[in-house]
Amino acid sequence: MIKAGIIGATGYAGGELVRLLLNHKEVEIKWYGSRSYIDKKYYEVYQNMFKLVDDKCMDDNMEALADEVDVIFTATPQGLCASLVNEEILSKVKIVDLSADFRLKDVKVYEEWYKIQHKSPSFIEEAVYGLCELNREDVKKARLVANPGCYTTCSILTCYPLVKEGLIRPETLIIDAKSGTSGAGRGAKIDNLYCEVNENIKAYGVATHRHTPEIEEQLGYAAGRAFCLNFTPHLVPMNRGILVTAYASLTKDADYDTIRAVYEKYYGSEYFIRILDQDVCPQTKWVESSNFVDVNFKIDKRTNRVIMMGAIDNLVKGAAGQAVQNMNLMFGFEETEGLKLVPMFP
Ligand SMILES: NC(=O)C1=CN([C@@H]2O[C@H](COP(=O)(O)OP(=O)(O)OC[C@H]3O[C@@H](n4cnc5c(N)ncnc54)[C@H](OP(=O)(O)O)[C@@H]3O)[C@@H](O)[C@H]2O)C=CC1
Ligand SMILES: CC(=O)N[C@@H](CCC(=O)OP(=O)(O)O)C(=O)O
């Protein structure tokens, strides 16, 4: 049994971590970190936790926390983890950071897209990008894991097999993505008010969204060359879920069986990635509250393009579920422990 602390336990991603870790056989939560609710009972922030959690919220003192737990999750705004971490802390505990602080290897790219100065660039090189299905062996050895973004997880896993096999032209890739509102966090923002989101759909961050360089970097590693792509996110009136539809020109003629075999090659033995049957398009409802990634594709013979599709729950595989999956690998637990969640429907 290991002890865990969550800095940012009162946010949506942190709250989802609590839900998942309460059902994990090998973990006991010791620290419910907060900024606004210090000394308040955690269940008073989330009444769904009434009679399940009796602890009070604590501060974000990572040094004190490092003496009490084996693993720290930081589910906090961009910049916070980088401002708290140091060598002494990392010599005592493992950290899974759900923010973007250690995802991008080039600190200049981080500072340009996030508009903040990185407070501990010396740990960027060491941090492992925690997309478990692609970096499993490195995650097992890591002290510091950069948990991927929600849009990025879905986009990369949807396109990765065809990029890796050189079956699509990188310069033609366009990723259209849609997210539920929980992706924007629990903080009050006018854009996320009921009247702004309900019965509405809108693109945002067009040509400027900060997940673009993260997707480009990771697909660039797969392609073995720099990637430059269009990524357009949309906000849709649902609580959870990300749906990705990605378009690219094929480098050669390929039929259904050829492309299917490529997806099978990379994902055929992955528990959390489900390659759907021919002509079945992923839906967010089919993965809701689970750690699954549903993927599929369709070849458009008229345009010689392939259309790749993927769906995840942004709070599970896009955040807390993936963080638990990473922790399982880092501590040598069964990778699926605490994560064999059956999707909710309807
Ligand atoms: N929501 C999602 O789908 C996903 C989120 N993420 C990432 O996870 C992180 C958290 O996101 P999310 O849960 O959505 O955000 P929320 O706004 O819902 O939660 C933010 C959390 O951080 C805490 N916090 C804020 N500022 C500080 C501070 N200065 N010191 C300590 N704690 C602080 C808040 O505490 P309090 O409420 O007590 O003030 C709260 O617990 C972000 O980096 C986000 O990018 C990643 C993938 C998906
Ligand atoms: C719907 C919505 O607003 N989504 C957030 C992204 C989700 C997130 O939390 O960002 P990271 O994955 O980088 O941590 C956004 O577009 O900024």
Structure token pair of residue 234: 């949309």
**CATH number of 302's domain:** 3.30.360.10
- Bridge partners of 296, per DSSP, are 309
CA 184 / ligand 2 centre spacing (Å): 5
Do residue 171 and residue 263 come from a single domain? yes
Q: What's the domain range around 114?
A: 2-126
Tokens 């609590």 correspond to: 18
Atom of ligand 2 nearest to the CA of 103: 13
Q: What is the DSSP letter of 100?
A: S
Single-letter residue type at 55: D
Q: In 3-state terms, what secondary structure has residue 78?
A: coil
Whether 75 lines ligand 1, by a CB cut-off of 6 Å, is yes
If one residue of 150, 152, 186 were mutated to test the ligand 2 pocket, choosing by the most ligand atoms within 8 A of its CB, it would be: 150
Backbone angle region of 17, left / alpha / beta, with phi > 0 → left and psi within -120 to 50 → alpha = alpha
In 3D space, the residue among 94, 75, 68 whose CA is nearest the CA of residue 16 turns out to be 75
Q: For atom 41 of ligand 1, which residue has the closest CA?
A: 8
CA distance 325 to 270: 13
Whether the Cβ atoms of residue 301 and residue 328 lie closer than 8 Å to each other: no
Angle at 163 between CA 317 and CA 297, to 5 degrees: 65
Is the residue at 335 inside a domain?
no
Do residue 94 and residue 240 come from a single domain? no
Is 132 known to be catalytic?
A: no
Which member of 132, 150, 154, 159 is catalytic?
150
Rg of the chain taking only CA atoms, in angstroms? 20
Do residue 172 and residue 58 come from a single domain? no
Q: Which tens digits make up the pLDDT trace of 292-342?
A: 999 999 999 999 999 999 999 999 999 999 999 999 999 999 999 999 999
**pLDDT at 126 (0 to 100):** 98
- Tens-of-pLDDT digits for all 346 residues of the chain? 999 999 999 999 999 999 999 999 999 999 999 999 999 999 999 999 999 999 999 999 999 999 999 999 999 999 999 999 999 999 999 999 999 999 999 999 999 999 999 999 999 999 999 999 999 999 999 999 999 999 999 999 999 999 999 999 999 999 999 999 999 999 999 999 999 999 999 999 999 999 999 999 999 999 999 989 999 999 999 999 999 999 999 999 999 999 999 999 999 999 999 999 999 999 999 999 999 999 999 999 999 999 999 999 999 999 999 999 999 999 999 999 999 999 999 9
Do residue 62 and residue 164 come from a single domain? no
Single-letter residue type at 15: G
In 3D space, the residue among 165, 180, 303 whose CA is nearest the CA of residue 247 turns out to be 303
For the entire predicted model, the pTM comes to 0.98
Phi, psi of 245 (to 5 degrees): -125, 120
Residues near ligand 2 with C-beta < 6 Å? 99-100, 149-150, 179, 183-184, 211, 233, 235
How many domains would you assign to the chain? 2
Q: For atom 37 of ligand 1, which residue has the closest CA?
A: 10
Q: Among 84, 109, 126, which residue terminates a domain?
A: 126
Whether 183 lines ligand 1, by a CB cut-off of 6 Å, is yes
Task: Note whether ipTM > 0.85 here.
Answer: yes
Phi, psi of 247 (to 5 degrees): -120, 135
